[in-house]
Structure 1
């Protein structure tokens, strides 16, 4: 990483995202000072779209990273290319509402003025055919100091230590679970496979057991319950325990 500037960058990892790539970029072009996009091996028109944006906009930068079945590795590579103090992490199937475009800099500028650091949750709105079907107010840390890094191969989370965690009023619209545009069965199959492989390396990770239970809930509720009970037996944080118990109630 080179010299770090005051400001905020967006960081996105993508693969075969031609369906939604332009829509995502258009929504954040004015909201941040730099956009780092890392392609992990697209075989559709994603790279051509990204190159066209890079050619039109100096602050859009494109990199390539060989996919190694590890979301944290890809995300951390994208973070290593960021040149600003703050980073806003977005997925290609996310859209930042126009009404929220100025909020990212408002939060980071306020922190800079106080010479403080924190991590910010955003409000995650799942959509189907453009209609919000579920709004998740916390659990998605997407705005944070750019020197932080992710952990876990799948359902990766930022490791932020003792930094204050603040709930923002920034929304992201997400259609990655809309069965009209996504093969949900294939997505679940991929996630289950990656979680099982991750648990072979880190069997005591309660959060991975939780996510395995949540993913399994659409396939086999008995197995899902068992995995959530394992997660419960290994959980050490109040926040994680609460999430596990809420997940058990949903079965």
Structure 2
């Protein structure tokens, strides 16, 4: 784990882990509250890391000295249910793969579960060379793929409570993220990975025109993302919602048709399509899409 000023969240996170972990390594990046004191009650190792605007660097520090056979990483505002602790144990013991995607499901201020589930590579064997990449939205999947690790999907759910914070805190996080993404984009302006994250972050900050510009560029020339189900699907979904929220209904339908061609096999696509058709005041199409999601 990497943490900073997570005194309100850390204990609940670690309590939810139960007996999953043989060792808990926590890297603090400059807390000024009692995060470190709370961590001492749980962690087998606490490390201090000077923050350099690079989440991957901090995350790599957290796994550098791990001794276990498997690594599972969390944020302080993540929670595991007992059922999902059991599923994690089963995945590690099964021998089915070397690394596993988990679903991260976010909750918002109204306590409704987000309709979309984002997949993260959260569980992987402790192999030399597996590292996180990208200064924001750090990801171990690129190196896992390059090393030839067998990767599998699971139904393991990590509940993320980070979006239950007050709007001012969420906006501050989004602005921080935007600065990191813009710096990376300036260094690699043709890198569509950063255009994807620019689109997502600008959407969160309410700049829908900017979001549309970047997400449309990603969809028009899809880069060879390691996992189209993760990144390209989110680009389609974000673009549909940005068009919807700006009243561009013809474009919504156009992107919806394209997304069906790409992702019609995904149950969640049909759930999202159903909600979009409802927003378009097309109840018959909404019912058809939601019925499709049930099959």
TM-score of the superposition, structure 2-length normalised?
0.72
Bigger drift between 35-44 and 201-210 goes to: 201-210
Q: Distance in 2 between matches of 1:41 and 1:120?
A: 30
Q: Give the number of the structure whose alpha-carbon radius of gyration is greater.
A: 2
Q: More strand by proportion, 1 or 2?
A: 1
Instruction: Specify the SS of the correspondent of 1:67.
Output: coil
Choose from 236, 239, 248 the match for 1:248: 239
Distance in structure 2 (CA, Å) of the matches to 1:61 and 1:182 = 33
Matched, 1:49 2:38: yes
Task: Measure how far apart 1:69 and its partner are.
Answer: 0.3
Cα distance in structure 2, aligned partners of 1:41 and 1:106: 35
Report the CA distance between 1:81 and its aligned residue: 1.9
1:144 to 95, 99, 124: 124
- Shift in Å at residue 136 of structure 1? 4.1
Higher relative contact order (CA 8 A, sep 6+): 1
Shift of 1:208: 1.7
Output one character per residue of 1:213-244: Cα deviation in whole Å (capped at 9) or x when no partner: 01101321111111113333362247043332
Structure with the largest fraction of helix: 2
DSSP-derived class of the 2:136 partner: coil
Instruction: List runs of 5+ in structure 2 lacking aligned partners.
Output: 243-295
**Aligned position for 2:173:** 187
The answer on whether the counterparts of 2:202 and 2:211 sit within 8 Å (CA) in structure 1 is yes
Deviation at 1:202, TM superposition (A): 2.7
Q: Is the 8 A contact 2:3 2:29 kept in 1?
A: yes
The answer for the alignment partner of 1:107 in structure 2 is 91
Shift of 1:117: 4.1
Correspondent of 1:154 among 136, 140, 143: 136
Indicate conservation of the 8 Å contact 2:109/2:165, yes or no: no
Task: Give 1:245 deviation, angstroms.
Answer: 2.1
Aligned residues: 231
